[in-house]
Every structure is written in C-alpha cells, then in structure tokens.
Amino acid sequence: MYPFGYQRIDTPQALKAAQQRQRGEADKAVSYLAGGTTLLDLMKLGTLAPAEILDINGLAHDYGDISWADDELRLGALVRMSAAADHPRIRSDFPVIAQSLDLAASPQIRNMASLGGNVLQRTRCNYFRQTGWTACNKRQPGSGCAAMEGVNRKHAILGVSDHCIAAYPGDFGQALVALEARVDILGFHGTRTLPFHQLHLAPGSEPERETVLLPGELITGFHVPIGPWTRRSLYLKIRDRESYEFALVSAAVAMHLDDNVIRDVRIALGGVATKPWRAHEAEQQLIGRRPDLPAFEAASKVAFAAAVTRPGNRYKVDLGQQTLTRALLQLAEMEV
C-alpha cells in the first residue's frame, strides 16, 4: 500500500465540490470508497494506488435506500448487499436479485459491500491482482497477457479479445443485465441514466477501460423494471465449493410463462464472460416455445456458440450449457 489522501463526503454539496476539484486535477487518481472490499484489497496488494480516496459512505441517506414505484424497484448505490438480499419483497418479487447477492462472497463481506461497489468490482485474474506478474494488459497496457498461455481455468470464453480474457467476477451484475436495469450516474454536469448493459465494456484492445464512467462520475442507483418475468426468476451459480467462491459459471434467468408457452425470457451469464453477459440469441430461440428440455438444450448451445476457449477453460462451454439448461429447467418448474 502507498500513502493516499482521504476525505469523507457526507453531502451532495461536498460531492459536487470534490467533483469540481477533480476536473482541475485530471491526472490525479481519485477513487470513491464504499465498502472497500475490492478497493482496499487491491490497494494493499499495491495493484491500485489512488492518490486520494473519497469516502462516500456518508451519502447513504441520499443513495442508500430500497424503494418501489408501480413499475420498478429502485436500489441506491450505497445499499449493502446483505440489505438487498434480505429484503422480503426483493426475495419474493425478484428472486434472481436476492439469490445473486446471497450466493456472493461471505456474510461479512455482504454486510460491508455496497451495490454500487459490487458492479464495479475488479477481475480476480491473479496476473492482474499480483504486481509481480509483468504481462497484464489490464494493469499495464501493452505489456501482454500472461493468462493466454498461463493458468486460465477461471477465465472468460465470451467477449474475449486477443488482449485480455479476464472474467467479470460479480454475480449481481448478471441479475441487472437480465432484468434490463438502468443505472443512474451523477457527474459534475448532472445525472445521466444508462441501460445497465452499457455500463461495462468488453476488453477489445483497451482492457484497462472496464466501464464508460468518466473520471469523477458516481453511480447513485439502479432501476429494475417489474415485469411478468420478474417473479419467475432465479440465479444458479456453479462453483468448486459450496460457498464463498466466485462462479465458474452462473446463469441469471427470468421467464414469462403463460399457458405453458414462453412469452418472454431473459438470460444473463456469469463467470464465462468479460462483462455481465446477456444471451440474446438464446432468448430468441425460446420465445414462443414450450418450456421443455429439447428447447432448453438448443438455447443453451446457442448461448455458447461464440465461445473462444483456452486449454484451461475449454470445459466452460460444456459446463455453461449444462448450467443454463439446469437453470431453465428449474425456472420452468418454479411455483410463482
């Protein structure tokens, strides 16, 4: 860890002032601090070295609420993972959100970590996390990618590039992508709202750029539309051990089933892609069909048709298909 400046931001005014200052010092690396479960880890490792930290936990009364409108669920960026996961109405009306949070990390981390921080967590690629590895385009643009020929069992097979195959590690992001959530972003010039799936960038030739956020921009919350598919939704996470581990593969799925016909379906995949990944083609396969095994298997194949694998993660194609099939089977059988 390197020395850094620290400032508490307790009011929107203080935030605005800080954002203004940042505009004047464009070169200075400034990071927001929420739960700190990603940021402090990486600072201790020396991977991240912000010159200044702006502690936004004081903004919880502005951006820390769970609320409901007729047609949507609103989640403040400073809502803790555990608070959203334990919320009775989220549990009943948005099972995929509650489960994606429940199955993530550990109780201690979920009590600490915020939803805003969660969607911005960094990859678990150890070539990125440990500065002793020299080749990592994400940490050191242009330095190469050690994972290509190295240990890549947990790396991505969708949305990869020749420059980076790091998997997006989070779970909650898949639920947001599947449900077509929107994200509120507050910059110096005011608020903008984006479809959540536009927040993250695939690595392309610039793996160091992970999101469209501009310096100083703050995520303030998420809107999740309520639809006829939200109650019939679930999150299936496959991993080597029963708890406290990132997904090898996960599926966030939601379905509107009417008269035993799939009217609408949403599929997002985790653990296999470089960003929260929506499987549109697979969805298209299913719409209008009966919810049966052949349909699910066919859709699962389509979902991984574009996979690009390395020796260590080749199994993820097969596992991904099985995971999605299993998730869809479970989904069709859900009592709602």
Partner 1 sequence: MAETAEGVIGKDVARIDGARKVTGAASYGSDFALPDQTYAFLVTSTIARGRIRHIDETAARRVPGVIGIYTHRDIAGKVKAGKLMADGGYLGTSIQPLTSPDILHDGQIVAVVIGESFESAREGAYRLDVAYERQPASASFDDASVETVAASEASKTHEDPKVGDAETAFQQAALRIDVSYSTPTQHHNPIELFTTLCHWSDGKLTVWESSQNVWGYKYGLAEQLGIDPNDIRVLSPFIGGAFGSRGSLTPRTAIIAEIARQLGRPVKLVPTRDQGFTIATYRAETRHHVKLGATPDGKLVSLSHEAWEVTSRPDNYMVSGTKATTRLYQCPNIYSKVSITHADRNTPGFMRSPPELPYLFALESAMDELAVATGIDPIELRRINDTQVEPIKGLPYTSRSLMACFDAGAKAFGWHERNPKPGAMRDGDWLVGWGCASTMYPTAVAPAAAKVRLMPDGKAIVQTAAHDIGTGAYTVIGQVAAERLGLPLANIEVQIGDSDLPPAPVAGGSNTTASVCNVVAKACDRLRQQLFQQSNAASATDISGMPLDAVLNDLPKDGIEAYAENLPHGTTQEGIGKLYHGHSMLAGGSELKDRIQFAFGAEFVELRIHRLTKEIRCSRLIGAFACGRIVNPRTARSQLMGGLIWGLSSALHEETEIDQASARYYNDDLAEYLIPVNADVREVEVIFVPEEDKAINDLGIKGLGELGNVGTNAAVANAVYHATGFRIRDLPIRLEDLLAVES
- The site for partner 1 (CB under 8 A) is made up of 1-3, 46, 124, 126-127, 130, 132-134, 146, 149-151, 153, 238-245, 248-249, 315, 318-319, 322-323, 325-326
DSSP string, 271-286: SSBSS-EE-HHHHHHH
* Residue ranges in 105-124 that form contacts with ligand FAD under rule CB under 6 A: 105, 109, 112-114, 116-118, 120-121
Residues 6 or more apart whose Cβ sits within 8 Å of residue 35: 80, 109, 112, 113, 114, 117
> At how many degrees (to 10) do helices 315-333 and 293-303 cross?
140
Contact 248, 171 (CB under 8 A): no
Binding partner of residue 72 among partner 1, ligand SF4, ligand FAD, none, CB under 5 to 8 Å per kind? Answer: none
Rule CB under 6 A: say whether 313 interacts with ligand SF4: no
Closest CA to 238 of 246, 228, 229, 226: 246
Return the CA Rg of the chain.
20
Rule CB under 6 A: say whether 317 interacts with ligand FAD: no
Rule CB under 6 A: say whether 127 interacts with ligand SF4: yes
How many Å apart are CA 269 and CA 261, to the nearest integer? 23
Rule CB under 6 A: say whether 169 interacts with ligand SF4: no
From the CB of 233, what's the least distance to ligand SF4, in Å? 31
* Residue ranges in 62-91 that form contacts with ligand FAD under rule CB under 6 A: 77, 81
C-alpha of 31 from chain center: 19
**Largest alpha-carbon pair distance within the chain?**
62
Looking at 10, 41, 72, 86, which residue binds ligand FAD (CB under 6 A)? 41
Binding partner of residue 98 among ligand FAD, partner 1, ligand SF4, none, CB under 5 to 8 Å per kind? Answer: none
Rule CB under 6 A: say whether 229 interacts with ligand FAD: no
Binding partner of residue 326 among partner 1, ligand SF4, ligand FAD, none, CB under 5 to 8 Å per kind? Answer: partner 1
From the CB of 130, what's the least distance to ligand SF4, in Å? 10
Considering only the stretches 9-17, 34-42, 110-118, 141-149, report the one whose residues sit in contact with ligand SF4 under the rule CB under 6 A. Answer: 141-149
Looking at 165, 175, 185, 254, which residue binds ligand SF4 (CB under 6 A)? 165
Rule CB under 6 A: say whether 104 interacts with ligand FAD: yes
How many Å apart are CA 72 and CA 221, to the nearest integer? 13
Residue 114 carries which DSSP code? Answer: B
How many Å apart are CA 115 and CA 78, to the nearest integer? 6
Determine the size of the site formed for ligand SF4 (CB under 6 A). 15
Closest CA to 306 of 281, 276, 271, 270: 281
Nearer to partner 1, 211 or 322 (CB): 322
Rule CB under 6 A: say whether 202 interacts with ligand SF4: no
Looking at 79, 119, 120, 146, which residue binds ligand SF4 (CB under 6 A)? 146
DSSP 3-state of 290 = coil
Rule CB under 6 A: say whether 218 interacts with ligand FAD: yes
Closest CA to 264 of 199, 325, 321, 331: 331
CA atoms within 13 A on the CB side of 172: 25
Residues 6 or more apart whose Cβ sits within 8 Å of residue 119: 170, 172, 173, 176, 183, 196, 199, 219, 276
Rule CB under 6 A: say whether 43 interacts with ligand FAD: no
Side chain identity, residue 234? L
Binding partner of residue 319 among ligand SF4, partner 1, ligand FAD, none, CB under 5 to 8 Å per kind? Answer: partner 1
Using CB under 6 A, list all residues that contact ligand SF4. 123, 125, 127-128, 136-138, 145-147, 155, 164-166, 207
Using CB under 6 A, list all residues that contact ligand FAD. 31-39, 41, 77, 81, 104-105, 109, 112-114, 116-118, 120-121, 170-172, 218-219, 246
